[in-house]
Amino acid sequence: MFYTPVVPPRPQRTPSQDIVPEVLAAALDLIATEGPEGLTVRALARRAGVAPMSIYNHFDGKNGVLDAIIIDGFNILASESDTTLNDPRENLLAGSGAYRTFALEHRAHYTAMFLHQFVGYTPSPDTMYVAAKGFEILAGQVQQCQQAGLFADRLYPDVAQQLWAAVHGYVALEIFGINFASDRDKVFYDFVGSLLRGLDSPNA
Amino acid sequence: MFYTPVVPPRPQRTPSQDIVPEVLAAALDLIATEGPEGLTVRALARRAGVAPMSIYNHFDGKNGVLDAIIIDGFNILASESDTTLNDPRENLLAGSGAYRTFALEHRAHYTAMFLHQFVGYTPSPDTMYVAAKGFEILAGQVQQCQQAGLFADRLYPDVAQQLWAAVHGYVALEIFGINFASDRDKVFYDFVGSLLRGLDSPNA
DNA sequence: CCAACTATAGAACGATGTTCTACACTCCTG
DNA sequence: CAGGAGTGTAGAACATCGTTCTATAGTTGG
């Protein structure tokens, strides 16, 4: 009369050390496939094969997951866009291209970092620190250009801000689906190249 | 024994023709003061002094309110940035400045139009149409420049896209609070001017 | 003055983030 | 190898969200 199931119905518990990476992967997957609004605690736990409570035990709730994604994103962005070519101007062009590639290929990261304001989310101090470090990398590359004689009569943080604004604006409209350029890649490089050329001539 | 209140406790019903403008004003006020996440149907009705059901009787729910805000925003933007100076290049510069002024002064409009993705919102066909018209105004201004000899070896929709990306990027970072420029106004005009100068020289 | 219209209040439904509690599995220690 | 501490899980609970429905009451035109 006793009945023992032949197959354990499912691994009942997720080992502790697997939870964080699986939740992060599931969160990126959710944002990429369902959009930022698809990132809910219940859906996240379901896709990660984990109990909702684990989001609170291993992260600080949904905000903690967002902090983890954003910090991860800044680390990837820093490692991919901190190029070190000999020509500092080429270096800046290559960095801009790498920034755009990061945004397009890690759309979920970029969305969480710069495009979507998640309701109730405020970045943690750690997140703010990593973000500031990211801007410093860009500013450093511009400074190297200046030491090579470019952007002569401008402040390098201003040039960094202008370059960042341009690249972010182009990428944001691209991701929003409102880019009507004839050839997105070519128009992008022409865009950044033209801006650098214009910024290298004297301030009007 | 009968008691008649000397003052009617409050106007019980809002006259029909007042509801739409009051709801729109309350929605802009809510976004501006509480942020986009503060725009909830209940809070909106409360601030407008109106029943929640009115949002559904006079608009198509929350999405209808957003459509109304966005269409209103595009109309304001078109009327303010469609400048007609004699010099087409000056015209483009003035239009860019007007775009930025619109974004900064009508922050709630601009947020709904380009910065925040409201959960569950998809623009109505009418909204899409008005938005496309807005891009055509910009493209027309660029085309006038081209007829005057500027941006010679480039396609005018590409130049329009590049200019829009630049201005939107600058404004977006400004509104997000991550603009580190020494003087925001001056750096903006230097930004747009440099881009136009660079785009006027031959394509590399 | 009455009938058609419509703004209102309030309950209801499913879904959200979050917290709490009881339970069951794991794994280290004695 | 047994047992207890630690921890992942399930589920209920709370307030709030957008939305729908119903019944009521105020307004207005004929």
Q: Distances from the Cα of A161 to the Cαs of A94, A139, B80, B171, B174, in angstroms? A: 17, 8, 26, 11, 10
The 10s digit of each residue's pLDDT in A120-150 is 899 999 999 999 999 999 999 999 999 999 9
Tell me the DSSP string of A76-107: HHHHHH----SSHHHHHHHHHHHHHHHHHHTH
For residue A151, give both structure tokens: 């952007």
Instruction: Report the distance from CA of residue B66 to the C1' of nucleotide D23 in Å, as an integer.
Output: 30
* Helix spans in B35-183 (H): 41-48, 52-58, 61-81, 88-105, 107-110, 125-147, 156-175
Q: How far is B71 from chain A (nearest CA, A)?
A: 17
The domain covering B1-59 belongs, at the CATH homologous superfamily level, to Homeodomain-like (1.10.10.60)
Q: Rg of the Cα trace of chain A?
A: 22
Chain D: nucleotides under 7 Å from a protein CB? 7-12, 16-22, 25-28
pLDDT classification of B192: cutoffs 50, 70, 90: very high
- Cα separation, A112 vs A26, whole angstroms: 14
Give residue-wise pLDDT tens across range B92-129. Answer: 999 999 999 999 999 999 999 999 888 889 999 999 99
Q: In this model, does residue B161 exceed pLDDT 50?
A: yes
* Structure tokens belonging to residue B116: 């925040």
**Residue B49, CA atoms < 13 Å, CB-side half-sphere:** 12
d(CA B191, CA A198): 9
Res A203: pLDDT: 77
- Tell me the average pLDDT of chain B: 91
Task: Give the pLDDT confidence score for residue A49 in this predicted structure.
Answer: 92
- Which pLDDT tens digit goes with each residue over A23-60? 999 999 999 998 898 899 999 999 999 999 999 999 99
Distance spanning both ends of chain B, measured CA to CA:
92
- Given a contact cutoff of 8 angstroms between Cβ atoms, the answer to whether A47 and A31 are in contact is no
Task: Give mean pLDDT, residues B83-95.
Answer: 93
Domain regions of chain A by residue span: 1-59, 74-200
List strand C contacts in A 140-159 (CB < 7 A).
none
Residue closest to C7 C1′ by Cα? B13
Is A167 in contact with B169 (Cβ distance < 8 A)?
Answer: yes
- Chain mean position to CA B201: 32
User: Å from A160 (CA) to C29 (C1')?
Assistant: 58
Q: Name which CATH class applies to B64-200.
A: mainly alpha
- When pLDDT is averaged across residues B154-171 and rounded to a whole number, the result is 98
C18 nearest neighbour residue (CA to C1') = A61
Token pair of B112 as six digits: 């709904």
* pLDDT exceeds cutoff 90 at B14: no
Residue pairs spanning A and B at CB distance below 8 A: 138
**What letter does residue B121 receive in the DSSP assignment?**
-
- All residues at 6 or more sequence positions from B1 whose CB lies less than 8 Å from its CB, including other chains: none
Q: Residue A187 CA to chain centroid, in angstroms?
A: 22
Q: Tokens 């035990």 appear where? A: A57
Q: What value does the mean pLDDT take over residues B30-53? A: 94
Fold of the domain built from segment(s) A74-200: Tetracycline Repressor; domain 2 (1.10.357)
| B15 CB-to-strand D distance under 7 Å | yes
- The whole-angstrom separation of Cα B92 and Cα B11 is 50
* pLDDT interval class at B6 (50, 70, 90): very low
Instruction: Identify the closest residue of chain A to B151 by CA–CA distance.
Output: A194
Q: What residue is closest to D7 (Cα–C1')?
A: A16
Please tell me which residue of chain A has the smallest CA distance to B119.
Answer: A37
Facing B165 at nearest CB: one of A131, A160, A170: A170
Contacts 24+ apart (CB under 8 A), A10-18: A14/A48, A14/A49, A14/A50, A14/A54
Instruction: Give the integer Cα–Cα distance in Å for A154 and A145.
Output: 11
Summary mean pLDDT of chain A: 91
- Taking the C-alpha atoms of residue A93 and residue B70, their distance in angstroms, rounded to an integer, is 35
Q: Which nucleotides of C are covered by protein (CB under 7 A)?
A: 6-11, 15-21, 24-27
Specify the DSSP element, H or E, that contains B122.
none
Looking at chain A, the number of H-run helices and the number of E-run strands are 9, 0
